[in-house]
Structure 1
Amino acid sequence: MGVQMSTFPQYPDVHVLLAYFPDVAKTKLASVKENLVSRNPEYDFCFLSTANLVSLQQLQNGVYTAVRNQKQEQMKASTIYTEIMLSLSPVNNINEALKRFGVDETRNDIIVLKVVQAEQLQESEKEFSAKLESILDSKPGALTDDVLYNGFDATKFKKLFKLLGVESQEELTQGAIEGALFRGL
C-alpha cells in the first residue's frame, strides 16, 4: 500500500499525506534524524516513531489539533510538524515531545506525514512517495490500527500516558487522546 491522504471537514483546503515504512534500516533513520536536526529543507516532513502510537484515531487527533492550532494561529511550536508531535504528547515540553514521538533509531519503522494546501496537492502527492522511498531506501506499507497496536512499546506508552493497568486498544487510545488534550491543565 502506498500513500494515504486525508482531510478534515473544517479545513478542506488542508490535505495530509501519510506513508508508513515498516522496514527501514536504523542507519537510514539515524541519517534522517541528523538531517532534521540540521534543518535540511529536503526533509520537510513529519517523521513519527510508532513507539507511542497505539491507533490511527490517536494519530488523527494529534494531526487535527496541530492543523487547528495552525489555522487559529495558536501554535506553540515553530513548524506544523513539531506541532503535530506536541499535539500527540501528554507533556507540555517540545523537547520531550520530539524525544517521544520523533525519529527513533532503535526501531525499524516510521510514519511520515506531509501537510499541504489543496493547490499544492497534485505535485506533492506525486513527489511524496518517490522522495521518501529515496530518503528511506524502503517501500511504504499499509498502516492500520492492528499494525500500530502490535508495534507500540507498551511499557513506555503506559508510563508516558500514566495508563498502568489498561490493556485494550480502545482504552489506551482514549487515555492517550485525553492525556494530550488535558496536557498542562
Structure 2
Amino acid sequence: MSSSPLETIHLPHLPLAVHAALYTDVHNAPYLRQQLLSANADFEYAFVDASMILSRAHALSAVFRAVNDYLNERLKSRNIHSEIVFSLSPTNNIADSFRKFGISDTTTSLLVVKVSVTPDITYESVAAHLAQNVQGSPLAFDDESLSGISNIAKIKKAYKLGSLPSTPSGQANGTQDDGKRRLEVSVQGAIALRGAA
C-alpha cells in the first residue's frame, strides 16, 4: 500500500488520527457528491474542493477546530467530517460553507479527510476505500502541491480579503512568500474567530 496517496496525521493535543489524501484530475466528483447527499455511511468523509485550500496549515486548522469541537460535543453540523468543511468557512452559514468549500459536480482537485472516530477506521481501510472510489491522480498533501491548485482569487473572495494585495508574481521570492504568509495568517484567523463574536 505504499503507493497510496493517503497520509496519517497526528495533530498536537488531539487523540484521534486524521487521514488525508489529495487528488487532481478527479473524474467522478458528481458520483462522490451524490454519495454524500444520499448520506451513504461508507462515504462519510470531508470532501473539500482543494482549489479553496491555500496550504496544508490552512486545511489542518479547520481539521483541528472540527476535531476539537467533536471531542467537546460542540458540533454544529451532522458529523465530524461535515464539520471539517464547515470549519473552513469564516461564517456560521453551513449551506454556504458547503457551496464554497465542499465538493461540487465540477470539482477536479479534491482534498479528502477522514478522522478515526471508531477503531475500524484505519489507514488500511481508508486507503482501500479511496483507491476503489476516487478516480483521480494522487498528489502529496503539501504546500507545493496545493500552490499549483489553489485559486487565490476565490479564496480571498470567500474570506473577504480583497484588500490584501495579491501574491506578487515575478518578484523576489521573499516578497511572494510574505504575501502568501499574510494571506495564510488572515485565513487561519478567520477560521479561529468564526462564531467568537
**Shared fold (TM-score greater than 0.5)?**
yes
Cα distance in 2 for partners of 1:162, 1:34 equals: 29
2:155 corresponds to 1:153 = no
Task: Give the structure 1 partner of residue 171 of structure 2.
Answer: none
Task: Give the structure 2 partner of residue 113 of structure 1.
Answer: 113
**Deviation of 1:118 (Å):** 7.5
Q: How does 1:79-94 map to 2 (within 5 A)?
A: 79-94=79-94
Cα distance in 2 for partners of 1:160, 1:64 equals: 20
SS in 2 for 1:11: coil
Task: Give the structure 1 partner of residue 12 of structure 2.
Answer: 9
The structure carrying a bigger helix percent of its residues is 1
Cα distance in 2 for partners of 1:101, 1:111 equals: 10
CA contact (8 A) 2:47 2:85 kept: no
Letter in 2 for 1:24: V
Task: Give the structure 2 partner of residue 19 of structure 1.
Answer: 21
Structure 1 stretches of 4+ moved >4 Å: none
Structure 1: runs of 5+ lacking an equivalent: none
Q: TM-score, normalised by structure 1?
A: 0.89
**Deviation of 1:38 (Å):** 0.8
2:109 corresponds to 1:98 = no
**Deviation of 1:63 (Å):** 0.3
Cα distance in 2 for partners of 1:140, 1:39 equals: 25
Task: Give the structure 2 partner of residue 172 of structure 1.
Answer: 183
CA contact (8 A) 2:46 2:81 kept: yes
Root-mean-square deviation (Å): 1.7
Letter in 2 for 1:66: A
**Deviation of 1:139 (Å):** 4.6
Quote the sequence identity (%): 26
Task: Give the structure 2 partner of residue 61 of structure 1.
Answer: 61
2:153 corresponds to 1:142 = no
Cα distance in 1 for partners of 2:117, 2:39 equals: 22
CA contact (8 A) 1:133 1:140 kept: no
CA contact (8 A) 2:109 2:149 kept: no
**Deviation of 1:111 (Å):** 0.9
Instruction: Provide the aligned length of Structure 1 versus Structure 2.
Output: 180
SS in 2 for 1:54: coil
Cα distance in 1 for partners of 2:107, 2:118 equals: 33
SS in 1 for 2:116: strand
CA contact (8 A) 2:6 2:21 kept: yes
**Rg: which structure is higher?**
2
Question: More deviation in 144-153 or 62-71?
Answer: 144-153
